[in-house]
Structure 1
Amino acid sequence: MARILITNDDGFTAPGIRALAPAIAELGHDVFVVAPLDDQSGVGSARVGVANRPIQTVVEEAGGISYRGVAGTPALAVTLATLGAFGPAPDLVLSGINRGHNIGVPIFHSGTVAAALTAAGQGVSGVAISIQGIDPVNWSTAATMAGEALTWIAAEPVGTALSLNVPDLPIDELAGVRHATLTPITRERLVATTAPTGEPMITVAPLRPDPPAGSDEALLRAGYVTVSPLVGIRVLPEDDAAIALAKRLSSYR
């Protein structure tokens, strides 16, 4: 049995986290939930303005599980939990289930993914779980796959982070599980436009056909659960280019 922190970026009352926590508890794990009080989608790894001040928390009980909401981001929730603010630090972190997929290079904006990366940066392995679709219904499929992912990541080195995307399908209709590359940023669907008031505005373009083979976008469309190992901030390896860059920077006064 492991101590599992469950968090998300949709808020501590969101249907995804309320589906995930009981499913993981039923596996016999010691589950505790710490997540944002409200929707924090797209905040990345922000932890702005939290030092040296009390952080509002709200606790709700449901099905024998305590759901703790904190006034802050998913990265803050993970940081507090790993520092021992809510009892012993977690052995592993699950972030989700996020409503809507998290695919492609721009996932570094995702609060769901950032929670797993924040955990990894503090020496605790984490999995970000997202389900395809704006209004998904097969939460139990994603919760079951999250339970499977716990067994995968427990056998990996400490600080491993995975992004898991699950089709919104009954579990017996899944095509399988596949390692996936991240869809290139060139397929980003965000478009800069101008509002009638003349102010800038971002809109989301429709999905384009023919995503790259083997990418999370292509495999998810084909009904596969996609698994993408992630690496957070790191120093470049000491190859010739990195050494040359370091020498140039060290020459500045």
Structure 2
Amino acid sequence: MSNAKPLILITNDDGITAPGIRTLIEVMKELGDICVVAPDSPQSGMGHAITVNETLYVDEVIMDKDATIKEYSCSGTPADCVKLAVNEILGRKPDLCVSGINHGSNSSINVIYSGTMSAAVEAGTQGIPSIGFSLLDYSLTANFDPVKKYVKTLAQQALAHGMPKGVVLNVNFPKLKEEEIKGIKVCRQANAHWIEKFDKRTNPLGRDYYWLSGEFVNEDKGEDTDEWALENGYVSVVPVQFDLTAHHAIKDINNWDI
């Protein structure tokens, strides 16, 4: 890899063979040298889990005809992939980390469960400008072509300007044709939540098991949120901070009798 070009780390949570990451690779090849380190199997909903009680394996794989692209499949989580890439594989800190393109939404409260975003956050904690990309289409046959130009634009801007300290970007794309997407909105995360439901069943051996399902409820009527942007045909960009301190609550907690 040439140090004259930006070094871009690419990862995801849907696995190294997922169509979304192949699209991300196609776009990032135009911007710099790339290295792919991604899970060897789907890791959706893993959040920021890391592997501490099992061994980790990394294998170099050939997924692309372009011999200049180095790709590695990892037995661990998305956060594991970033840790291994930075500390063992790349040889230097990348100039940008991009994660995705996820099959399905990571807007609003979904960001805290997302393996896609946790990979970006892990890179961000190491001072690497990072972006997580998601498309609101869960299908394995999802069409990522309409969002390529937005992926490229945002990556170019991140390379040119860097990222505010302690911040990564959570980018979600509406499921629309390219000509139907109205542009980009920088937003706040909508105040929404899931009403969880568990489908309880019994297996042939008589043991109960559960399937998690639920209903997404958006109680936020603001027109400055990611949910509003997506519902109205915009790409949503939410700056996410990984300092979880609720600074506004410190004064109140200090008034407790403790």
Give the one of 209, 220, 226 matched to 1:216: 226
CA distance in 2, matches of 1:74, 1:151: 23
Match of 2:52 in 1: 49
Equivalent residue runs for 1:162-177 within 5 Å: 162-177=169-184
Tell me how far 1:126 sits from its aligned partner.
0.7
Does 1:36 pair with 2:23?
A: no
CA distance in 2, matches of 1:235, 1:208: 25
Whether the aligned pair in 2 keeps the contact of 1:20 and 1:96 (CA below 8 Å) is yes
Tell me how far 1:84 sits from its aligned partner.
4.2
Match of 1:182 in 2: 189
Match of 1:251 in 2: none
Alpha-carbon deviations, 1:174-232, whole Å to 9, x = none? Answer: 0111122222243x253234336654442233x66886333222221221100000011
Q: Partner amino acid for 1:139?
A: F
Q: Partner amino acid for 2:152?
A: G
Match of 2:200 in 1: 194
Equivalent residue runs for 1:117-132 within 5 Å: 117-132=121-136
CA distance in 1, matches of 2:199, 2:96: 41
Give the one of 96, 102, 125 matched to 1:92: 96
Alpha-carbon deviations, 1:95-137, whole Å to 9, x = none? Answer: 0000111111231110001011111111112100001112263
Whether the aligned pair in 2 keeps the contact of 1:125 and 1:159 (CA below 8 Å) is no
**Count of residues in correspondence between the two structures:** 243
Whether the aligned pair in 2 keeps the contact of 1:104 and 1:185 (CA below 8 Å) is yes
Change (3 A) 1:192 1:103: same
Identity %: 30
Structure 2: runs of 5 or more not aligned: none
Change (3 A) 1:240 1:209: closer
Tell me how far 1:149 sits from its aligned partner.
1.3
| TM-score when normalising by structure 2 | 0.83
Whether the aligned pair in 2 keeps the contact of 1:45 and 1:114 (CA below 8 Å) is yes
Whether the aligned pair in 2 keeps the contact of 1:101 and 1:130 (CA below 8 Å) is yes
Equivalent residue runs for 1:1-253 within 5 Å: 1-27=5-31, 29-49=32-52, 53=55, 55-64=57-66, 65-135=69-139, 137-154=142-159, 155=161, 156-186=163-193, 188-195=194-201, 199-205=209-215, 212-214=221-223, 215-237=225-247, 239-241=250-252, 243-244=254-255, 248=258
CA distance in 1, matches of 2:253, 2:7: 40
User: Which SS does the other structure have where 2:89 is aligned?
Assistant: coil
Whether the aligned pair in 2 keeps the contact of 1:7 and 1:78 (CA below 8 Å) is yes
Tell me how far 1:34 sits from its aligned partner.
0.5
CA distance in 1, matches of 2:51, 2:58: 14
| TM-score when normalising by structure 1 | 0.84
Structure 1: runs of 5 or more not aligned: 249-253
Whether the aligned pair in 2 keeps the contact of 1:104 and 1:217 (CA below 8 Å) is yes
Q: Partner amino acid for 2:232?
A: A
Whether the aligned pair in 2 keeps the contact of 1:131 and 1:165 (CA below 8 Å) is yes
Q: Partner amino acid for 2:45?
A: G
Deviates further, 56-65 or 188-197: 188-197
Q: Partner amino acid for 1:55?
A: Y
Change (3 A) 1:204 1:236: closer
CA distance in 2, matches of 1:107, 1:191: 20
